[in-house]
Amino acid sequence: MFLEEGEKMLESCLLPECIYDITENPLDGNQFIEYREHLKHVLPTLFDLISSRELELFDVIPETLKFRRLFVEFVCEQRGDCDFFRTDVDNLVKNLVSCEGKLKKILQSDKNLRKEMFVVYKSKLLGQAWKKNLGAIHGFLCFCRTSFEGNATETLDMDKEMFILSIGTQFLENVDPSFKLCGLKLFCLLLECSNEDSLIETNTHYVIYSQAMDNIQKLLNEECSCAIWKCIWLAVSKDKTLARDPEWNKLDDCLNILIYRLKIESQPGTRRFLEETFLSFVSFSVVADKREIGVDLSNLSAQNINELLDEMLRKKGATFDNFKCYRWAKNILDLFVVQLLTIASTRQEAVSTIQFIHTVYLLTIAAIRRDLLDDILKQFIKRVMPICAEILNIYHTADNVQKSTASFLETVYNQVQEKSQGNNYVSALGSFLTHLKDQRPTP
Indicate the domain borders of the chain.
1-154
Quick one: pLDDT at residue 38?
92
Quick one: pLDDT at residue 314?
46
Residues in contact with 401: Cβ distance below 8 Å, sequence separation at least 6, in sequence order: 347, 350, 351, 354, 391, 392, 395
Quick one: pLDDT at residue 271?
65
CB atoms within 10 A of CB 62: 7
H/E segment holding residue 319:
none
Quick one: pLDDT at residue 328?
56
Per-residue model confidence as pLDDT tens digits over 214-246: 887 675 666 777 678 778 778 877 776 776 666
- E strands, 101-180, are none
* CA atoms within a 13 Å half-sphere pointing along the CA-CB vector of 304: 10
Quick one: pLDDT at residue 385?
73
Quick one: pLDDT at residue 18?
82
Which stretches of the chain score pLDDT less than 70?
Answer: 26-29, 152-153, 217, 219-222, 226, 240, 243-345, 353, 356-357, 359-360, 362-373, 376, 415-426, 435-443
Instruction: Give the closest residue to 145 by CA, choosing from 83, 188, 180, 176.
Output: 188
Quick one: pLDDT at residue 322?
45
Quick one: pLDDT at residue 360?
65
Quick one: pLDDT at residue 123?
92
Quick one: pLDDT at residue 384?
72
Per-residue model confidence as pLDDT tens digits over 170-222: 999 887 888 888 999 999 999 988 888 888 888 898 899 889 888 876 756 66
